[in-house]
Structure 1
Amino acid sequence: MTPETLPYDAPIFAPPSHPTPDKRIAPWQHTVAVILLLVGWAVGGHATSRMMPGRAHWVTYLSSIMMQWMLLGTCVAGVYGRGEFFARTLRQNARRWDFEILRGIGLYFCLLLIFGTGGALLRRMAPRAGFDSTRVHAMMPTNHWELAMWAFVAFSAGFCEEHVFRGYLLRQAIAWGERLGAPRLVSMAVSAVATSVLFGSLHLYEGFGGAILITLLGIAFCAVSLKTGNLRVVIVAHFLQDFIAVIAMMSHHAPR
């Protein structure tokens, strides 16, 4: 029976029945180096955000795409088993892709309702919380060619960031917590918060309030990825979040 003929609720790839005792997926030195790289990216991205408006869009898009894939490559280069890494992130407990895409769309709209409402309330109740859309507006496509490029930017962000934060850092942090003797649920909760704070810090260019919302979004992605056992659903939702947000912004600023 091929994946195309499987029922919607049938897993394509089941996890091993006897997992290895040591669940770390990379040497600790490699993980520390990745974290330092991300911290540097967060600080550098926030510091250079004011220089973004004068740059050509295609240069911004291309540099963003290259950085995303280079970051993913840096993570994958240090994992113990690269084939097993992608088997777990993309195939473990996976259903048919069309079903996963539908679940990703559903997750996107659920999170849009929750965080859209929460963001609006936060802006009204705490106007000084800090929301800065300058850089996002500066990256907004101005024609169909740039929109097509932005679609690949959004896909790269969804695929690469989910693998880095939920596929690599989250799993590694959980393994560290369990190795230190923490109960699995505690390790999962602490790891989800810690990795999501780092994830949110990469979006400090959106202001402090924006970074908080992205951190909460990261925690939601952590919960879903742990529940589903793979990254398919969160990759789809992440892509839609980045792509549709720009579409909505373009529609809002279109001449009437």
Structure 2
Amino acid sequence: MFVELDADGRRRVLRTETLLVLALSLGASGVSALISFIGSLTRPGGLKDQAATLNGSYAPGRPWLDLAWQLFGIATALVPVLLVAHLLTREGAPGLRVLGFDRTRPVGDLGRGALVAAGIGSAGLLFYLGARATGFNLTVVPEALPDVWWKFPVLILSAVQNSVVEEVIVLAYLLRRLDQLGWSPMAALLASSLLRGSYHLYQGIGGFIGNVVMGVVFVLAYRRWGRVGPLVVAHALLDIVAFGGYALLAGKVGWLPTP
């Protein structure tokens, strides 16, 4: 039996729900990234002399066990998205479709996502190189997986997982809940963008600032289109190029920093 709540009661429930979802997902990642950043700041040497590895091996020298851990990590990271879908359904909404995460407009989502990725990708790379050169960023190592047959499929799955979790939760779900709680559009934009920056702080100040700017762009695009699908596509393309490009180019071109 469900208890009928007044307006204040519904707001309290939504506020608690939102905090719990974030605590189980990217809010916790933000706290973890802050602790990691403090550790990097207090370690001898500059930030650019330290490395932040995004996709590393869980079982070096044991490829099948490593693959099992990789797939387990990717699958469990998606559980908060399933929780969000469940909570939206209980609300009476059609699950993730209310956020524009469905297959009703594949061509439009792919086209818009590719355009966003092209614009952000080139600017983001230049910003990262500049931030690292000036000592505001760690050296980001997008992948450090062994050279085995499943390397690139796992990198692609990892990129898709990152994009789905971040855009569904930090962009679409969070904005929906903040709107329902009566936040102004500007306050919601700042909250979403700063949260996005916070869980990239382990990369350094450059990673924080770059992702805050990306967050602002994504919020504005989501408000305009009313669909998170294109932003999931954009984020997935950005990560696929970053992970795969690093795997192919690291140590072979002089402009790409390596540890």
- Residues 207 and 235 from structure 1, CA distance in 2 versus in 1: closer, same or farther, beyond 3 angstroms? same
The answer to whether 1:131 aligns with 2:138 is yes
Counterpart in the other structure of 1:71: 80
After TM superposition, give the deviation of residue 62 of structure 1 in Å.
Answer: 2.4
Once the two structures are TM-superposed, the CA of residue 254 in structure 1 deviates from its matched residue by: 6.2
- Aligned residue for 2:177? 172
2:156 maps to which of 132, 148, 151:
151
Q: What residue is the counterpart of 2:222 in the other structure?
A: 225
1:55 aligns with 2:65: no
- Taking the aligned partners of 1:61 and 1:27, their CA distance within structure 2 comes to 33
1:84 aligns with 2:94: yes
What is the CA distance between 1:237 and its match in structure 2?
0.3
Of residues 151-160 and 233-242 in structure 1, the stretch that sits farther from structure 2 once superposed is 151-160
Asked if the contact 2:30/2:201 (under 8 Å) is kept, the reply is yes
Q: For this pair of structures, how many residues does the alignment match? A: 222
1:206 corresponds to: 203
Question: In structure 2, what is the Cα distance between the partners aligned to 1:232 and 1:81?
Answer: 21
Q: Is the 8 A contact 1:72 1:161 kept in 2?
A: no
Q: Deviations over 1:118-168 (max 9, x none)?
A: 3334344xx22123414x343x46344121122111112212221111121
CA gap 1:245/1:220 in 2 versus in 1, 3 angstroms: same
Q: Quick one: which of 130, 134, 147 aligns to 1:142?
A: 147
What is the alpha-carbon root mean square deviation over aligned residues? 3.3
- CA–CA distance in structure 2, aligned partners of residues 141 and 197 of structure 1: 34
How many Å separate the matches in 1 of 2:108 and 2:155? 25
- Per residue, is there more helix in 1 or in 2? 1
2:165 is aligned with 1:160: yes
Of stretches 188-197 and 200-209 in structure 1, the one that deviates more from structure 2 is 200-209
Aligned to 2:231: 234
2:186 is aligned, of 184, 189, 203, to 189
Question: Runs of at least 4 residues of structure 1 off by over 6 A?
Answer: 21-24, 48-52
User: Does the Cα contact within 8 Å between 1:105 and 1:240 map onto a contact in 2?
Assistant: yes
Structure 1 residues without counterparts, runs of 5 or longer:
1-20, 179-186
- The TM-score, its normalising length taken from structure 1, stands at 0.72
Q: Deviations over 1:8-40 (max 9, x none)?
A: xxxxxxxxxxxxx9997x722111212333332
More displaced stretch, 76-85 vs 28-37: 76-85
Q: Once structures 1 and 2 are overlaid, which stretch shifts more, 236-245 or 66-75?
A: 66-75
Structure 2 SS opposite 1:130:
coil
2:105 aligned residue: 96
